Amino acid sequence: MNKNYDFTSLIKDIVNSSSLDELRACVIKGNEFLITYNLSENSDEFKKLTTIVKLVKMKLRSKKKHYDESIVGKTYTISESRLISIFS
């Protein structure tokens, strides 16, 4: 197999992950890629993979946090005097 092609398709899959579960599956593929081509932690491919995975993970967590905040209803407590002043 072609190492560069496999690496590029792996990066594409990681970047196109739309959920943390998809990213987790891509990380498993990434580990298999590293084992297949006997790449160490000092290799450029390993460093690039870890950087991209960290960035995508941060993006997905931020996206999930904003999504969760938009779903949860907020409750406000208004005093009676404040309520009267609003409607006056």
Check: CB of residue 52 under 8 Å from CB of residue 15: yes
Are 59 and 29 spatial neighbours (Cβ–Cβ below 8 Å)?
no
Q: What is the biggest distance separating any 2 CA atoms in the chain, rounded to whole angstroms?
A: 75
What are 33-64's pLDDT values in tens digits? 999 999 999 999 999 999 999 999 998 888 76
**Which tokens belong to 23?**
């990213």
pTM of the model: 0.69
Kindly tell me if the per-residue pLDDT of 11 is higher than 70.
yes
- Tens of pLDDT, residue by residue over 61-80, are 887 665 555 555 666 677 77
Side-chain-side CA neighbours of residue 22 (13 Å): 13
Nearest to 34 by CA among 53, 16, 61, 18: 53
